[in-house]
Structure 1
């Protein structure tokens, strides 16, 4: 297993593998056989960035049996998803601010993210794993009141696509078995979510296969697997949110309302 990071150091952005607080710097493209340079940096000496730069972010809705049951909605026959704006991406540790023209509730959603490593078009479920580079941690933040603001058109993309509403990272972990993972969300020191990825309606491989039949997936593209029970609004003027997936890492961000 490797934990890949993208970071700023010495006025440049670079990539490397993180282990025990040290980064082994690599050259080349993250998705095209990067090579170690021999240089090592301390994690404390760099600024972590989002670990990749997606061409698109695909966010699932209603992808967990437990949440579908709680909401009393039918489980979908195929993935239900929206596309989030690229400007929603922000870095691990960044401060996220709600839009100035929005006064409604802002919701946290701890999620597993799939990072594509190889171009995927019309791939089978059996072949999907070979197109997955690794997995990351996501907070799919939502301006919840926007979704049903206009009764004629649910505004999912607007509600989830605000600037900074898509932090992910700090690493991409390779050689992970997603079905063994658990997602935890800690809000202001209190655990709010704790759910198993094995409860997903559509597995990671199934998602990649089905989505690749709708649109070509490119290296670096991020699939947010959806969330389960425990989501809720942030109440404080300044909120500390940590999403933890053991085996991948911990994503920390501050959300100011």
Structure 2
């Protein structure tokens, strides 16, 4: 099941929860099943069962007539760095980590599909990163690896947009990764039962139609159970939190010559089974 948050292009800005089905969206809010995707996450399997039972009665809208929003507003976005063998190998300063490394994207940076992102004046090295991300469905604190997968609600995409010249200056990771709009997520959340093999998902990034990242989660250094169990030893995770899993090789800074995003560009990240997350870059 692909869950989305959407608004109608005509007649208001209210956000609704829906199920994406090809070129259509079935509205869960108007049929009284769920007011938001977060409500679905919190309701877990019981709410998913209600959706399946009542979906036939839900109003259906053409995808062209709605606007997809960020599928969820996470309390925390925690991102794994250097978790693909290929990405570690392309980075001349990287060392193969012996345990996972994490940084945070702030909720204020989260935007949805097709939302323009301004190129900040304070960077000339605006980079892209396709990231396969897990949406937490149950509280996890000091979890064992065996407890992780049953607690994952689903999966989405995150574009970890980064200002490299800011990020690498005095190790300013948090500032370099949290300009306005630097965390596009979406276009949907695929429930975990519909994606039984998250460790073998093809990922791509296209900049103005040219493919620059072409990898797979099969290249992970640390598996989802390893990543999230490790993280939960330090930080309690709550339903709706997003944990990203790093990016494959091909980021802009390590292209030869380097490729950075500028006003007028369009970046698309894609994952098999999830879809395409498109972000236009505009002048600041």
Fold equivalence (TM over 0.5): yes
Aligned mates of 1:54, 1:188 — CA distance in 2: 29
Larger CA deviation: 115-124 vs 39-48: 39-48
Q: Which residue of 1 aligns with 2:279?
A: 253
Match of residue 22 from structure 2: 20
Higher share in strand: 1
1:104 aligns with 2:114: no
CA contact (8 A) 1:58 1:83 kept: yes
CA distance in 2, matches of 1:92, 1:161: 17
2:137 corresponds to which of 117, 134, 140? 117
Q: Does 1:6 align with 2:5?
A: yes
Using the alignment, how far apart are the partners of 2:261 and 2:112 within structure 1?
Answer: 22
2:101 and 2:176 mapped to 1: Cα distance? 16
Q: In structure 2, list runs of 5 or more residues that go unmatched.
A: 253-258
Aligned partner (choices 183, 189, 192) of residue 212 of structure 2:
192
Counterpart for residue 180 of structure 2: 163
TM-score (norm 2): 0.84
Task: Give the 3-state SS of the residue equivalent to 1:241 in structure 2.
Answer: strand
Query: Quick check: 235-244 or 180-189, which moved more?
Result: 235-244
**Counterparts of 1:146 and 1:11 in 2: how far apart (Å)?**
35
Task: Tell me which residue corresponds to 2:104.
Answer: 83
Query: TM-score normalized by structure 1?
Result: 0.93
- Quickly say closer, same or farther: Cα 1:219–1:190, change in 2 above 3 A: same
Matching residue of 1:129: 149
For residues 171 and 237 of structure 1, the distance between their equivalents in structure 2, rounded to whole angstroms, comes to: 26
Matches of 2:22 and 2:205, distance apart in 1: 23
Query: Is 1:65 matched with 2:82?
Result: no
Change (3 A) 1:235 1:91: closer
**Range with greater deviation from structure 2 (58-67 or 155-164):** 58-67
The answer for the alignment partner of 2:40 in structure 1 is 30
* Rounded Cα–Cα distance in structure 2 between residues aligned with 1:42 and 1:66: 39
Mapped to 2, the partners of 1:135 and 1:4 lie a distance apart of 10
SS in 2 for 1:171: strand
Q: CA deviation at 1:173?
A: 0.9
1:236: how far off? 4.0
Partners of 2:61 and 2:231 in 1: how far apart? Answer: 38
The 1:135–1:145 alpha-carbon spacing in structure 2 relative to 1, beyond 3 Å, is: same
- Deviations 1:10-30 (CA, angstroms, capped at 9, x unpaired): 442111111121222223212
Distance 1:164 1:40, change over 3 A: same
Secondary structure of the residue aligned to 1:255 is strand
Shift of 1:235: 4.5
List aligned pairs for 1:49-64, cutoff 5 A: 49-64=69-84
TM-superposed CA distance for 1:41, in Å, is 2.1
Distance in 2 (alpha carbons) for counterparts of 1:185 and 1:68: 18
1:244 aligns with 2:270: yes
Count of aligned positions: 252
How far the C-alpha of 1:178 sits from its partner, in A, is 1.1
The answer to which structure has the higher helix fraction is 2
